[in-house]
Amino acid sequence: MIRSMTGYGKAEMNVGSAPCTIELRCVNGRFLEVSAKIPREYSDKEHRIREFIRAQVSRGSLTVSMRRNESQQSSNVAVNYSVAASYVESLRDLQQNLGIGGTISIEQLVLLPGVLSPPDNDEDEEQTWSQIRDGLQTALLALNTMRDKEGADLALDIEQRLAVIERGLAQIESTAAQRVENERTRLRERVAQIVGEVGIDETRLTLEIVLLSEKLDVAEECVRLRSHIKHMRQYMAAQEHAGRKLNFLLQEMNREVNTIGSKSNNADIAIIVVEMKEELERIREQVQNVE
């Protein structure tokens, strides 16, 4: 069954002793783009996070946000007094040597590199990754559950529109089957009006009918269009991601419908073709959201 590209998933877990939250948001995208917003202390896990997501998501613009509990972060902050004292001493020397006035504030001091930092992480690296991975898996399950549900709704809408196109196709085939005989009668009557029955060259008339029938024949286009509809249903029912294949099929279906309209040269068929093209456009809009 097809899957939508848009969805949201969330998980809460502990990483070490710190409560954490992971949120996944995915929207439409031509390819898979993963952006990560994670705490600095877990920055070395970013590549593994991206690869874990890529194994389960194939298309879309996906953002993974990971947060640690704020109170936990505050208690973990360490002050490097020696680095701070060195900054203060150097800044005062700079003031004295250059004759610069002003004061050194705590707000300025804490922004300098190395003054505030988390303590050394004594957590086991693989255990930390295992906890992050479990949280990611829970969030991905929620994300894909939402995307599957929306995908089912998309599939239902697309199927209804395919049924409309099939009904139009059946009407075209029925109308086109009568057109050759109607054109034969119309051509004979027209020739008779011009030259009279005695002057009709049956061989030449038959040749003209054959040429006209070839020009009006849309059987091949109808067969190909039915084949495309069949394949579209197969791709929607398959487990593999079908978004790109559905896009390609829609282009081919639109081409066949345009050809039917241009070859038929019939008002009734033209109306049906317009309706079919409208349904194809609505399907195209839906397929833009299929993974």
- 23: tokens are 């949120």
Q: 133 pLDDT exceeds 90? A: yes
Query: In the chain, what is the greatest distance between 2 CA atoms, to the nearest angstrom?
Result: 123
pLDDT score of 223: 93
Q: 118 pLDDT exceeds 80? A: no
Q: Mind listing the pLDDT tens digit for each residue in 91-109?
A: 888 888 888 888 888 888 8
Predicted TM-score (pTM) of the model is: 0.69
- What residue ranges define each of the domains in the chain, with the CATH number in brackets? 7-73+124-146 (3.30.230), 78-117 (no CATH), 149-287 (no CATH)
- 208 or 257: whose pLDDT is higher? 257
Q: Mind listing the pLDDT tens digit for each residue in 210-256?
A: 666 556 678 889 999 999 999 999 999 987 788 899 999 999 999 99
Partners of residue 12 on adjacent β-strands:
21
Q: What length is written for the chain?
A: 291
Partners of residue 162 on adjacent β-strands:
none
Q: Mind listing the pLDDT tens digit for each residue in 27-39?
A: 998 889 999 999 9
